[in-house]
A and B are shown apart, each in its own frame.
Chain A
Amino acid sequence: MSEAAEDDRAESIRMIRDSAAAVAPRGGDSKRVRALRFTDPGYDPAVLRQMGEMGWIGLRLPEAAGGAGLGMGEMCALAEELGAGLAPEPLIPAALSAALLGYADDQAALTPLLAGEALTLTAWQERADSLVTPGTPDAKRIFVPMAGGATQFLLPLREGTRMALHLLPAAGADLTIERTQDGGTYGTLRPDLSRATRIADDVGGVIGRVLDEAALATAAYLLGTMEAAFALTLQYLRTRQQFGRIIGTFQSLQHRAADLKIQLSLTRAGVEGAAAAFDAGATGDAARAVVSRAKARAAEASLRVTRECIQLHGGIGYTDEYDAGLYLRKAMVLANQYGSAALHRRRFLETAPEDEE
């Protein structure tokens, strides 16, 4: 990239961050987040619409398809900001569906989704902790995030060697909802194919890539969540006093904070590096390897940082009233979404190029 192009890129990412902060202020608006927990649908439809208006749901779609035509660098910056503000709106699952609908060129379904007026969720998953899409016609689809707010579902269906895409209205669908730790929902869908319409012959070539982008964006969201949890922890270490001293002066706690900082920096390097690789055109195994490296790290590090956040706070960290728990619960939900650390470690070894040394 030329220097001017790099500057443009940095500016575009900075702008995304600024506008994200207006919707989901970093570590600032836990009142909104709390008020939405354990409600139906678990997020604010008005905020999802706002996200649509900002062009975020179609951020990655080409402009010709009604999107913003931006890169993974922007997508990850956006997801990170939303993670820092714990925004419950299902932007990542919505963007995943937008990519498939864009590929299927179904403007009728795509337009309201991009506007944030309808929520189309892709019901691809048949087994826990998996990134493959078997497309089994009669299999129930599990762990559909925020399914309670869906207006329609996208169903990948195996037809011989092809993976067709069907659209199923959510109204009247056989859907069970379970609550998640962060106050959202997971849905289990038993699809009735007689009510579905076929909208694409074969999405087999893109669905893996689309899931990888969701995995990477989730890693970025977790990066934001752990940054916010870490900031809260540092603030506490700087102010809380015991034994007549600020607890941040205890060397054992300083070392713990230093270790967490290392994890944060590793996660950031992995996530931003993966996004840059995507934007530089990485495909196939090379792309899968960087996503897996980033998501494996983000999953483990986010759990660790949020656990330590509780421990370093003592008793107050164990109250629901204090925000430390919100970060812990968010990490619990997202660490294994779009693949656990174990899944991604395995996949990394299968896809990473041999070490040259």
Chain B
Amino acid sequence: MTYIAKPKISHPSLPKNQLGLTTRDYEGVVSTLCAGCGHDSVTAALIQAVFELDIEPHMLAKMSGIGCSSKTPAYFVSQAHGFNSVHGRMPSVTTGAYAANRDMTYVGVSGDGDSLSIGVGQFVHAIRRNLNMCYLIENNGVYGLTKGQFSASADIGSKPKKGLPNQQEPIDPASAALALGATYIARSFSGDKEQLVPLIKGAIMHSGFSLVDVISPCVTFNDHEGSTKSYAHTREFYKHVANIDYIHPSEEIKASYAEGDAMPIHLHGGDTIVLRKVDRAYDPTSRAEAFKLLRERYNAGEITTGLLYVNDERAEMHELMHNIDTPLAQLPYEGLHPGSDELRKLQSRYR
């Protein structure tokens, strides 16, 4: 497998962001995933999101574990730093990276296998720390890269290509994240870019741990009749509850949101997201309601999508630890040790 560099033809007509960059500047190398794989659509949504957020490519860190999904950081923003780690352990690497440099934007891409089986411990604890990152799970119900075994997100009754339907209780990443105290939880579908892009933007701008669980069908191993993670099944059963519009700090909040189903939420960093409720009664700032909704809709066979829960009040990791604002990696050495005289003094207790 070699990478063919995409010819960079800058189209004068392509829109530019505030950095003067076009979406072409946010692309990566050519994907080597199967044609039609949901993950490629998520990559496209990510490119759109970081482009629209005016993120400087080199200030973006793309983190991943192992799996087809985890390969995708190579397929977007070549000018960003990528870290394709080991299976299930993207969260720990991101935790360390964020500990060292809080000024960068961290986007982690994982799979349902990577996050819900081998890496479930790290997924859980990144949430507990309220690690300031956007965590995407490209959820296809199977291990794509090892050829189609069920993952822990497979629904009861979902049929594999060969063999018996799954009978084990699935782990729903969104419900799990809610139980664990994640502060931004969204779900979407790789085939719904319009919903997905703003959800990713909100997730990136949210201060603290943001989960975006994206149903991202595996065309090769889990897109057949009887699979609950196929394109057809997802299209049929998925429902929007509350979508968002991301409002750039430079934009005004348009008054076009009808009272009752629009709710502006001001994020820590000065950005605003406007919640557009599809279900007017739903309040995504209530953890209890989010629980209830997820449970009820799941039992009804629906795939609930949109912004499911948001809490912008909780302190993120560095704030919780009272760490200095300057990235630790950039602190000059002189200030990091108290010198030889102090060393002499502090040893008096060992005499």
Q: Do A and B bind each other?
A: no
Residues of chain A at the chain B interface (Cβ within 8 Å): none
Measured CB to CB, the residues of B under 8 A from A are none
